[in-house]
């Protein structure tokens, strides 16, 4: 269905490697991060994003 309406199938179709610094910092700065039970860093978030590309 997502293909029928033109939604990207994979994250790498819409995110470029040069976007990862901004996306990682934005995720880290998100107010909801503080309610997460796991500690995280910008570096770890970036690694997670890279693993999805």
Per-residue confidence of the chain (53 residues) as pLDDT tens digits? Answer: 777 888 888 888 889 999 999 999 999 999 999 898 999 999 999 999 999 88
What pLDDT does residue 4 have?
86
Say what the pLDDT of residue 50 is: 94
pLDDT of res. 28: 96
- Per-residue pLDDT at 16: 93
C-alpha 9/C-alpha 12 separation (Å) is 9
pLDDT at 11: 84
* Distance (Å, whole) CA 27 – CA 52: 15
State the pLDDT at residue 17.
Answer: 94
């Amino acid at each position: 269905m997502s293909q029928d309406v033109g939604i990207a199938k994979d994250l790498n179709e819409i995110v470029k490697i040069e976007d990862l610094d901004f996306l990682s910092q934005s995720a880290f700065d998100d107010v909801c991060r503080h309610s997460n039970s796991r500690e995280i860093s910008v570096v770890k978030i970036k690694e997670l994003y890279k693993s999805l590309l």
